[in-house]
Structure 1
């Protein structure tokens, strides 16, 4: 009997991971991607223990780790005066605490590692320049229109925030503008003072804005993400940002924070959108995965991690259907959704909550900082044990 066939829409981190997981579960997989060429946008990605455990189960962890950095510490800084508010050791201590490594990596390096694994997997076919135009039930499966008509036993919409699959399933589920912009840049580590380029992840907090810095490219570069208020809803990853405009949001910040913001010659800006938690994802032989299902603000660094979790759970639940009647697939998809919806909704809500906490001003900001300075550093990580402890 021929292997069951799953069609995955989208060749981003979620789609590639899903394809790898499904192939390991015994399926033939076709990935359809609207882009004519794969050029993964973005800058850095943080992968906590919940994500790296998944990568190990998929057999791609070593490939990803080869270009990653394993931070030795995490620090929360007062952006204005430059003092350390709190922090925690990372590295071996965090791995022992949560049962898995924490790493940071350039998004292009993560995407390239997953793509290389996909291209080495005979059960996976990748079709570029194939945008999903629509789909309908056909027999026990689904027919997908994407420049050609393809039949599959199931369709997985991993096609991002502006998912065509989600649009047909849930036309009312529109991306929600967060009234903020994220500015990203990567600078050579040698262009920064040594104290700002070491193996430490730092979060700089200030009224209305924040800044994140951590090493990538094996420590040869530093990834920067600056988040500011913004009312421009133009969507895109590669919009040029004016450095002078960005700097105006950080007037009065500490010398170290300003040294980071002033280092890049070029900043790219994108408007931040997310999704409200959805009561359901799919129907029949169709479901959603990653940002298509639960796009979230980047304030807990869990967007990629939750997509990776989705992929492992989805493949595990579909595995038992790979060699039997495809009529059982919809039930497995509903089981996947029942397991993932509560967790991803909780992460989405927690990430939105951090937006408010990070950007407090006035007396509320001072109270937050006092609480942070009074708590043990490990409390920063222990607060999110419910995220990091997750095991596939």
Structure 2
């Protein structure tokens, strides 16, 4: 018999987990605290490790309709705008990893996953259901929410993000920490930009205490732009969609080179959020125990400096379903233990590398000079990450 799994959180991690479980014939109740299923945020880069798993979830055709296919990753100086290094993507990724490199808008990927989940007929979606209590028994888990509603299942998966309500029932630790970094994001139609600013590439500008990224999304019709700087946090740390401005961004970054500055000035509006995270995982018990498991940011929030936050959540979803494959209610604790053992070290490594990348990207002085020299000499060898993309 299949298991009955409760999932708290209807973002990308929750929907991917629900889809993966439903495709293996488990029954799922997915609880979302918002009054409607929706997603905001910036674009997402999907490396071959992620697109390979999305293909296994049966959303390949729909994904192809929303994705952009960048032809290269190009690193430039944020000050001088000179190219420092380049990694071919496109056919090169297909040749090396048998899967493509895509860029999508977060809301578009969310929509694809939501449609696929609805199409399974095995997932009950409930909105306005904010988790307020969890009781784990020997053979079941009971979840209560606002308005005195309750659900009982064989297992609970917390996919409710950085500020997870489920996490405290598994892990006793401190709240997320402020990193001192702020991100500004924008989405602009490429047709509205001068030809010189339009792009089919992932471009990364590196500067002292800042970096910027721009890449196409929505079949290449729009350009996603993100600027990350070491800047004092502003507003509610839990708000991922704060109104901001070019002036606020420039105050944090100072004047950049003319190439990047022209792009920033061409963007019609900016949103911002302050970055918070947790220390890298140290053992499997931080991802699962008995009948409660965590996936995505609820388990291992990551700084966006390796472009793998959503990717690791999708990897978690597939691994969770694989661990539960063929199992029933009685097998949940053993299956969750297998899941946590299979995932925690890889997630911890990605967390560590993302933190290290932040230091390298924002380097100053001699470290910055050494970084740029190494990138010029080794180029694609440094930008490629086989341990990640082949996994």
TM-score range, shorter-chain basis? over 0.9
* Aligned residues of 2:231 and 2:252 also touching (Cα < 8 A): no
SS at match of 2:173: coil
Query: CA–CA distance in 2 between the matches of 1:200 and 1:293?
Result: 31
How far did residue 173 of structure 1 move?
4.0
Distance 2:114 2:368 in 1: 43
In the TM superposition, residue 307 of structure 1 has moved relative to its aligned partner by: 0.3
Matched-pair contact (CA < 8 Å) for 2:21–2:321: yes
Aligned length: 384
Q: What whole-Å deviation, never above 9, does each CA across 1:244-303 have from its counterpart, x for those lacking one?
A: 121234434221100111122211110001111233223210010000000000010000
For the 8 Å contact 1:157–1:166, the answer to whether it is kept is: yes
Residue 333 (structure 2) aligns with = 330
User: In structure 2, what is the equivalent of residue 232 of structure 1?
Assistant: 233
Instruction: Kindly indicate whether residue 32 of structure 2 is the aligned counterpart of residue 33 of structure 1.
Output: yes
Asked if 1:185 is matched to 2:191, the reply is no
**Alignment CA distance shift 1:4-1:138 (3 Å):** same
The equivalent residue for 1:353 is 356
Is residue 2:377 matched to residue 1:374? yes
Query: Which residue of structure 2 aligns with residue 319 of structure 1?
Result: 325
TM-score between the two structures when normalised by the length of structure 1: 0.95
C-alpha separation in 1, matches of 2:22 and 2:165: 24
Deviation larger for 251-260 or 105-114? 251-260
1:146-167 Cα offsets, whole Å, 9 max, x none, are 2311110100000000000002
What is the deviation of 1:327? 2.0
Q: Which residue of 2 aligns with 1:310?
A: 316
Paired with 2:330 and 2:93, the residues of 1 have a C-alpha distance of 44
Alignment correspondent of 1:207: 208
Aligned to 2:244: 241
Question: Counterpart of 1:300 in 2: which secondary structure?
Answer: coil
Q: Cα deviation per residue 1:214-273 (whole Å; 9 max; x = unaligned)? A: 011211110000001122263211111131121234434221100111122211110001
User: How far apart in 1 are the matches of 2:49 and 2:157?
Assistant: 22
Q: Answer whether contact 1:198 1:215 (CA < 8 A) is retained.
A: yes
Q: Which moved more, 1:129-138 or 1:312-321?
A: 129-138
| Structure 1: distance between partners of 2:19 and 2:100 | 21
Structure 2 equivalent of residue 259 of structure 1? 262
Q: Unpaired runs of 5+ in structure 1?
A: none
> 1:247, 1:261 within 8 Å by CA — same for their partners in 2?
no
Give per-residue Cα distances to partners, 1:323-377, cap 9 Å, x unaligned: xxx22110110110011000000000000000100001122212211111111x3
TM-score (norm 2): 0.95
Distance in 2, Cα, partners of 1:380 & 1:200: 18
* Alignment partner, residue 283 of structure 1: 289
Secondary structure, aligned partner of 1:172: coil
